[in-house]
């Protein structure tokens, strides 16, 4: 039995949850999220509750049960209050700025990360990104998209353990190494 999956999910005020086939749509004051789910789990939506049940009693269905419950909770939470992650860029000469995209619509990040060329990253739809000095803020209603895009940015220049240069999460602590000793 999944402890998370068997709990009833309370629908917050101002949020509408609907289902058509295998697609669940959650609409709220901040936007709308749509996600496709497999048919291994039955999703029952009432006026104020969402309940999930596994169709089969195999290991795969049980593993999806709690995962789908968490996805639906995160979707409801995102349309009420957007998810936010912050990155801090440390290092001499490291810069970040948000510019309009060169090709097509949207925006893109323009990074100076100590390479011989600028690093340009397209900002996906559904994400609001700001860069003030060396503080980068990623905001969006889809928790999965916000987390994966932030991890993609951090992977461009991971923090190194000797001087702490690179891109790190706001509350991340980098374990520092001592470095060379002189005789």
Question: At the fourth CATH level, which superfamily is domain 83-169?
Answer: Ribosomal protein L6 (3.90.930.12)
So what's the pLDDT on residue 5? Answer: 85
pTM of the entire structure?
0.89
In angstroms, the Cα distances linking 108 to 66, 81, 87, 154, 180 are: 35, 24, 16, 15, 39
Domain(s) of CATH 3.90.930.12: residues in the chain:
9-80, 83-169
pLDDT in tens, 34-58: 999 998 899 999 989 999 998 888 8
In angstroms, the Cα distances linking 163 to 76, 84, 88, 166, 176 are: 41, 27, 14, 9, 7
pLDDT in tens, 122-170: 999 999 999 998 899 999 999 999 999 999 999 999 999 999 899 999 9
Under 8 Å between Cβ of 56 and 105: no
CATH 3.90.930.12 fits 9-80, yes or no: yes
């Amino acid at each position: 039995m999944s402890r998370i999956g068997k709990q009833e999910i309370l629908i917050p005020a101002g949020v509408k949850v609907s289902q058509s086939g295998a697609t669940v749509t959650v609409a709220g004051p901040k936007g709308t999220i749509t996600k496709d789910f497999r048919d291994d789990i039955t999703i029952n939506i009432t006026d104020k509750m969402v309940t999930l049940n596994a169709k089969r009693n195999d290991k795969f269905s049980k593993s999806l049960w709690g995962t789908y419950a968490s996805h639906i909770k995160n979707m409801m939470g995102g349309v009420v209050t957007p998810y936010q992650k912050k990155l801090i860029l440390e290092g001499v000469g490291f810069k970040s700025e948000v510019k309009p995209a060169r090709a097509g619509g949207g925006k893109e990040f323009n990074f100076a990360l100590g390479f011989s060329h600028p690093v340009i990253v397209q900002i996906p739809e559904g994400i609001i990104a700001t860069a003030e000095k060396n503080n980068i803020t990623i905001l969006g209603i889809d928790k999965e998209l916000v987390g994966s895009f932030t991890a993609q940015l951090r992977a461009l220049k991971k923090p190194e353990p000797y001087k702490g240069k690179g891109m790190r999460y706001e509350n991340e602590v980098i374990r520092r190494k001592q470095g060379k000793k002189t005789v």
